Every structure is written in C-alpha cells, then in structure tokens.
Chain A
Amino acid sequence: MIRYWEKWNGFEADAMRVIVDDFNASQDEIFVEYSSVSQIDRRLMLSIAGGIPPDVAGLWNYVLPVYAENNALTPLNRYTEAAGIKRDDYISVYWDMCTHRDYVWALPSTPSSTALIYNKKLFREAGLDPEQPPRSIAELEAYNEKLMKRDEDGRLITCGHIPAEPGWWNALWGYWFGGELWDGKQSITITSPANTAAYEWVASYPERFGARDLMSFKDGFGNFASPQNPFFTGRVAMVMQGPWIYNFIQNYAPADFEWGVAPFPSVDPERFPNVTVVEADILVIPAGAKHPEEAFVFIQYVNSQAPMEKLCLGQRKFSPLRETSADFFTQHPNPYIREFHDLAQSPNARPVPSTTVWTLYANEMNQAFGRIWTQTSSPTEALSDVQTRMQESFDHRARRWDRMENTLLTEWEKP
C-alpha cells in the first residue's frame, strides 16, 4: 500500500480519484490510498522533517526547486531512465519544470497556460468586433478606452482590462515586454529596460484612471469563485486566466455569458508572439518515502497517455504529453482548450524562474506592484528595491548551496 497526498479538493480531486481507482483496479500488487490535504506544501515539509512522509505527493511546479535543494525529494532519473520516459514525450516546458540542477524530480500531472479571456457581449456594446480581440498592448489600451464606463458621480462601473485583477501574476508582466526575472544563473534582472517598460505600463493605469478610483473599484469586486467575480458581472471585460476559467464560467457566470480566448497581447506581437505563463501540477516522491519503487509505478501510470487524458479531461485541462489523441479535443467540454494547448508549445511559453527564492520574489513583486498601483513609488524606484533585496537573498541561497552542494550531490547519486 502506498499513501498519496494531493492538494486538490472539489472536482479536481474527484478527477484524480477516478484515476487512482482505475490504477487500483488495474493490478493487485499496489494499492494507492488517496487523500486530499490542505496547505500541502507546509504539511509535506513537516511530515518529511518528521520522517513520516507520504509515498507520492501532488505539488505545484514553483515549489520544486526549494524542495529539491532542501533534500526533500527523491531524484527520479533512475526510474525515468529505466521506464524509458524522456523529455521528447512531453511538451518541453512541462518536462523542464520538473527538473532542477540537472536532476528529474517530478513528472507532471495536469498543466496550464494563461491567455486573454474576454467578454464578447461587452465588446459588442462598446462597438468593438468580438471576433477581433486586441493583439498588442497598444490595441489593448485602445480597447480599454472604449470599454471604460463611469457613473454620474464619476465612480468606475466597467473597465476593459486592469493588471490588478485578479492579481495572480503581478511579478510576471515583464514577460509580455520581452523581460526576464533573472539570468538563469546568479543575477536578478528585474530592473532591465524591458521589465521597467512593463511596470511603466502598469503605472499608466492609476495615472489614467486615478489611483483612488481604481482602488475603490477593485474593493467592490466579489470573490473570484463566486457569481460576484467582476469578470462574470461584467465589471471588467478582459482578464488573464488559464483553462480552469471554463469551470468558473460554468458554475458562476450568467447563462448568456459569451466569451472568447486569445493570446494575451504583448508589446510587440511580431517580436514576442504568443506569450503565456505555464504552470503545472506535479507528482513527486518525498525523500524518506517507504515505497519509492511502487510510488513510481503509480506516477508512471498517471503519465501514460490514456489515464493522463482521462485525468486532464476530468480536470478540464489539456494533456502535458506531446501526443494527444484525436478525440481528446472533440470530447473536451471547453471549446477553447486547443488554444491553451497550442499556447503551451509557443517559444514564448514561460514558467516562473526555477529558483529556491521564488515565493520571496513573488511577495516582493506584489509589494512593488502595490506601490506602483497606489502611486507611492515610481516603477524605477519600486523595481530597484526588489532588485537589491532579491539579489541579497539570492546570494544568501547561493552560499547555502555552496555549503551543501557536495553532501547533496552524493546523496542524490546514492542508489
């Protein structure tokens, strides 16, 4: 028997439960005991420290580096090599986010990419062609001007797109301007001209629409997972979201809600076409797991084509595997799933930086974004504070790695 902890609850958890049941029924040597666990990243850390981790855990790709460098995971190279699983089997970004420091630490379960989701009805009402979503930042802003509405007191009622809603990718706007968050090795590059341009674009919102107006506009939004989600109530006409938005629309949007999907506009669609943020749920074997062999058999099962498609269909996502069967897209309830799938294969499909300081970086960027949004700092000032602080933390982690490197590499090479 092996124990499997998964972060999901709700219908995503149920979709995975079906796969677990299929696996348990398909053979009688390994039984997977499946439980959904809240705050899994912290609980997993404590269970590994306490020496009683589960055999398989479902995490997010962005926590992989910090888990790997803290010796909390089992390297999978030996298993993937023996099973003949390789990078070519996957859409490459999803394989790459499962590796860190030249080791394979995980295999993906369900992937995602982000795109521009827009409300066709609001487009029509503003005299815009609902089949012509904006392609560049300049077009996006032209659309914004047309979509914005105020009431007689001057309070904002409707906006086109605002980068603060829902505010999940505050750190990553540089990607649509050709920016990088780090050089891939040892330097933080948040103050680069491309990133500065991105946050000057963010700063242009409070300049044009008024910082206080935007704040009380945003304060009037309901919860994301509710019918009061401002995108569903028609208060914002465009948002950046992933394939999961389909479920939220099914559950919370009005019955006559009409929506479309397009790549989120970049500053220059010729130079930077199809920019998207890619993320994935991943399956790992925690360090100290009692049954790593059996755990991998299960992970391998999830990563074979038929169960993977069943899982992704259940979770309303696309498959991270390179091969997708022909009827997957026709069976899929989300009419735009192919757009998300194709975006993930774009050369501009970008994950968050594969570094142990990502949570800190994201928090620092949220602070910087807030300062820019409320006009308490200029973009240059806010970004240079992030640069200084992040470079220090980065160097600190590099020192930790230097101290630990030999011990860890020996540990990871152990059969």
Chain B
Amino acid sequence: MTRMERKRLCMGLLFISPWILGFLAFSVYPLLSSLYHSFCDYSVLSPAVWVGAENYSTLFNDDVFWRSVSNTVFFAAVAIPMGMVLSLSLAILLNCKVPFQGLFRTIFFLPSLVPMVCLAVLWQWMLNGDLGLINNSIRPLLNGINQILGTHLVPPNWLQEAAYAKWGLIFTGLWGVGHAVVIYLAGLQGVPQHLYESAEIDGAGFWVKTRHITLPILSPVIYFNTIMGLIGTFQVFAVPYVMTGGGDGPERSLLFMATYLYQNAFDYWNMGYACAIGMVMFLIILSLTYLSTKLSESHVYYEGK
C-alpha cells in the first residue's frame, strides 16, 4: 500500500466512523453480549452465572416457546402473502391514470400513520364481539343466511376465541400496508412505458402486461418487501401486546416469540433465557432470509445485470 492509498483509507474510515462506531456500540456489542448471556442464569440485577447450554435445553423442551414459534410462523405465512397481494394490487390500481389520483393515494396511505398502540386499541373495539363494527356489519348477513338455511351462525368473539384471534390480528395488520404500497408505487414508476406500448401492439391485455412486464420488473421491490415483511412479522410485538393487555391471548393464540422474550426478560426476571430466545429468533430470521435470497435468485431481475 502506498502512502497515498493509506491516507485515502484513513480518510475513508474517518468519514464512515460515526456509522462504524454506532454499529459496534449499538448492534455488535448487544449481539455479542446477549450471545454470552444466553449461556448464563442472569436476572439483570444479580451477576450472571455461567450455566452452559441449560437455557437452550430448557427452551427446546418448553411447549410454550414452541407455541410462540408456531404462532409466529403461522402469522408470517398468512400475513406476508396477504399483505403482498393487497399492497401490490392497491399500488397497481393507484397507478392508474384516474381523476383525484393523488387524493386516493393519500387516503390509502393514511392508516399507516396511526401509531401502533392506537391501532391496537382501535381494532380492539372494531373486533369486539358484542359491540364491534365488524360483527355489527356481518351479523345481518349471518342472520339472513340463518333464516334461509335454518342454521345458527353467530359472529365470532374475535379476540376471545383462539380460532379467530390470529385472524383478527392479521386483519389489523392489513391496515398498515400503506408503506409497502408507497414502495411498490415507486417501483412502478420505473417500468419503461415502451415495453407496455410494444406489448399492446402485440395485442396484450391488462393481465398479460401485469404478468409479463410489471411483475418481472418489480421483482426486486417485491423481494425487498418480502424480506422486510419477514423481519416485521417475526418481530411482531406491540399490537398483540396491547390487544391482549400484555397477556398471551386465548389459549396463547396471540403469544409471539417477541412477546415471550419480553415476558421472560421483564416480567419473569429470566434475562438469560430471554437472550437465548433472542438468539434463536436471530438464527430463524437469518436462515429464512438466506433461503429466500437463494430461492429468488433466478426470479429477481436487476436492471444492471
């Protein structure tokens, strides 16, 4: 390395040092520290005692932890595709040249600005089994069906019945698709008009154009939103926490990995155990991200490549 190169390297490092220092102090150090504490019996206030893999062996035999994992996986598996279809369709619709386009875009984005805790409280009332807006709108429908078929269908008590609680949460989550819509809309601006024009000359309709032009060109954006969705759903915490009043929901149907981690760390004084849960979460998200990168390699189109 010449003197010039060394100087340049130092300058470069100097310029990115705020970022590097922040990353070391606020990401790397906590990560390593929780890795270490996941092998300890640690309650925050008394010194950590090394216990080897005890936390992990307890974790693998802890039914409640596995319940939280399966809840989280189910939530991610349903909420991500539903969110993607909804936000993508909204983005395509909002991209149509119609009057008041800007107004529509604003209206669909507005719910995303509601803070999570307010969102949770609001939906708690929307999903209320007795007084909720949702049940009051489907009750007449069910009564009609009951009259015709002689059945006894009643709307569910969304947040009190284990079979419906997660669906209630998923609907709540769909309210916040606005951010994804904005990203898709930005992506849609990058689709070259001439491709549509030549497809139209070949007689392609809306579906063919969407399938063969829009989606392939949007693929990196879809991929990005999927990864963000993956991370977001695996860390879901605030909304179910507020909706259940800090509890686990009926039959633990709203207990997610992040909630269980929080409970262990701050309610049960099991910080070591909470660190172990955090490590497992980290590995799961890491491997899912890796997997989706591998799987999507041949399906994602990058302009430069």
Contacts and interface: CB of A to CB of B under 8 A. Distances in A.
Interface stretch (A79-87, A184-192, A197-205, A357-365): A357-365
Contacts of A404: 46, 49
A295 B131 CA distance: 50
B41 A216 contact: no
A70 B266 contact: no
Interface in B265-293: 266-269
Contacts of B252: 367
A396 B270 CA distance: 10
Interface string B120-157: 00000000111110000000000000000000001001
B43 interface: yes
Interface in A367-405: 367, 370-371, 374, 376, 389, 393, 396, 400, 403-404
Given A72-B45, A219-B157, A374-B162, A360 B64 contact: no
Given A363-B247, A389-B64, A215 B157 contact: yes
B71 to A, nearest CB: 14
Contact of A360 (B49, B128, B266, B267): B267
A335 interface: no
Contacts of B161: 215, 374
B162 A42 contact: no
Contacts of B251: 367, 370-371, 374, 376
Interface residues of B, number: 28
Given A217-B130, A376-B251, A400-B41, A359 B268 contact: yes
A48 interface: yes
A71 interface: yes
Given A212-B154, A374-B161, A359 B45 contact: no
Contacts of A403: 41, 49
A260 B49 CA distance: 54
Contact of A215 (B49, B160, B248): B160
Nearest to B44: A49
Question: Do most interface residues of chain B lie in helix, strand or loop, or is the interface mixed?
Answer: loop
A112 to B, nearest CB: 21
Given A42-B266, A216-B157, A363-B263, 13 more contacts: A45-B269, A72-B45, A216-B130, A219-B129, A220-B129, A220-B131, A357-B268, A366-B247, A374-B160, A374-B161, A374-B162, A376-B162, A404-B46
A374 B250 contact: yes
A359 to B, nearest CB: 5
Given A45-B45, A363-B263, A389-B64, A219 B128 contact: yes
A179 B241 CA distance: 32
Interface in B22-80: 41, 43-46, 49, 58, 64
Between A215, A389, A403, the greatest number of chain B beta carbons within 10 A of the residue's beta carbon is seen for A215
Between B154, B160, B250, the greatest number of chain A beta carbons within 10 A of the residue's beta carbon is seen for B160
23 contacts: A48-B45, A70-B43, A70-B46, A71-B46, A215-B161, A216-B157, A219-B128, A219-B157, A219-B160, A220-B131, A356-B269, A363-B248, A363-B267, A367-B248, A367-B252, A371-B251, A374-B250, A376-B251, A389-B64, A393-B268, A396-B58, A400-B43, A403-B49
A371 B160 CA distance: 11
A216 B162 CA distance: 14
A37 interface: no
Contacts of A72: 45
A389 B65 CA distance: 12
Nearest to A388: B63
Contacts of A49: 44-45
A40 interface: no
A66 interface: yes
Contacts of A287: 45
10 closest pairs, A vs B, by CB? A220-B130, A219-B129, A219-B130, A70-B45, A215-B157, A216-B129, A216-B130, A72-B45, A215-B160, A359-B267
Contacts of A370: 250-251
A210 to B, nearest CB: 11
Nearest to A221: B130
B256 to A, nearest CB: 15
A293 B148 CA distance: 78
Contacts of A393: 268
Contacts of B266: 42, 45
A360 B128 CA distance: 27
B83 to A, nearest CB: 27
Contacts of B128: 219-220
Nearest to A67: B45
A173 B54 CA distance: 35
Contacts of A45: 44-45, 266, 269
Interface string B224-266: 0000000000000000000000011011100000000001001
Interface string A65-94: 010001110000000000000000000000
A389 B251 CA distance: 15
B265 to A, nearest CB: 10
A356 B64 CA distance: 20
Contacts of B58: 396
Interface in A207-235: 212, 215-220
A249 B247 CA distance: 28
A298 to B, nearest CB: 24
Contacts of A217: 130
Contacts of A360: 267-268
